[in-house]
């Protein structure tokens, strides 16, 4: 009886060992076996490298934010552009992606169509903010309240239609405002420091230096991305690296208010060129 038990135990051990060997063999990549049989050395399979851009962005609410961590103790700046969306906007976005910074685009409602809509949506998906710059870019300070409302509401509706999010901020064309406008517009008015970049004779270096000489913590920079304004696009190659080297963090206008714990005012006659 004792001998029978020993034989049974040996048989059981052999069966279990064979089963383990079969499971191990099944898990082996056949390509590895082929290399071994042919005399090649098996190499460890490395995981596919992630795209650099994917590593540097964080998905949040379906948006890939260009700036994922903000240090409130370091200076902030909000880069903004008027008069898009246009093909120049695409060039601006390339610069923003290159340097890993974000911006706010104040768009003209009548231009939000076709490929321009796609450009605006791309900016939004990258983490940029979309704001209101009227429907037709006419001087609004002499308009009746009803016409002011129509201009602003049209563009706000177009922005929400494309991005799914209504704008919070408005910049008046030519920076021309009136008390009637403050009463009629349900958005916060934004201005900013300018660089005379809407004038073709202002060269690239002058645009860049004008911004750099006037920026401070909490500044809103006002530039333009209208069609053909390539000198401003080129100026970004100086503005952005210089500010980054000084420790500035690029944020949207909304982030500028949030980080500084400031409540954007509406219907008060307040217009912002900085928040700090």
Q: Is 267 a catalytic residue?
A: no
Which position among 82, 83, 197, 225 bears the catalytic label?
Answer: 82
Q: Write the CB contacts of 124 (distance below 8 Å, at least 6 apart in sequence).
A: 63, 130, 162, 163, 165
Q: Write the CB contacts of 263 (distance below 8 Å, at least 6 apart in sequence).
A: 257
Which position among 83, 133, 137, 224 bears the catalytic label?
Answer: 224
- 256-260 long-range CB contacts below 8 Å, 24 or more apart? 256/76, 256/78, 256/218, 256/220, 259/70, 259/72, 259/76, 260/76, 260/218
- CA dist 248 to 70, 131, 265, Å? 10, 22, 25
> What is the 3 state secondary structure string of 184-238?
HCCCEEECCEECCCCCCCCCHHHHHHHHHHHCCCCEEEEEECCCCCHHHHHHHHH
Q: Is 224 a catalytic residue?
A: yes
Cβ-contact 120, 105 below 8 angstroms: yes
Just list the catalytic residues.
82, 224
């Amino acid at each position: 009886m004792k001998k029978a038990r020993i034989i049974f135990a040996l048989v059981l051990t052999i069966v279990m060992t064979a089963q383990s060997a079969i499971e191990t063999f099944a898990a082996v990549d056949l390509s590895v076996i082929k290399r071994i049989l042919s005399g090649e050395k098996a190499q460890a399979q490395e995981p596919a490298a992630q795209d650099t851009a994917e590593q540097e962005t964080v998905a949040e609410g379906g948006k890939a934010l260009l700036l994922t961590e903000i240090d409130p103790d370091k200076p902030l700046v909000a880069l903004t552009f008027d008069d898009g969306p246009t093909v120049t906007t695409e060039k601006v976005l390339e610069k923003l992606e290159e340097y890993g910074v974000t911006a706010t685009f104040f768009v003209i409602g009548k231009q939000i169509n076709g490929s321009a809509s796609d450009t605006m949506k791309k900016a939004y998906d990258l983490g940029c903010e979309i704001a209101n710059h009227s429907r037709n870019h006419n001087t609004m300070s002499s308009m009746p309240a009803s016409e002011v409302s129509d201009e602003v509401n049209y563009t706000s509706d177009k922005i929400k239609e494309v991005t799914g999010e209504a704008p919070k901020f408005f910049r008046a064309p030519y920076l021309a405002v009136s008390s009637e406008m403050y009463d009629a517009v349900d958005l916060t008015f934004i201005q900013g420091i300018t660089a005379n970049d809407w004038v073709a004779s202002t060269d690239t270096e002058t645009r860049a230096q004008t911004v750099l000489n006037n920026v401070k913590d909490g500044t809103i920079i006002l530039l333009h991305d209208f069609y053909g304004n390539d000198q401003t696009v080129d100026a970004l190659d100086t503005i952005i690296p210089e500010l980054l080297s000084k420790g500035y963090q690029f944020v949207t206008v909304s982030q500028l208010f949030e980080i500084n714990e400031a409540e954007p005012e509406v219907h008060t006659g307040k217009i912002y060129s900085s928040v700090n």
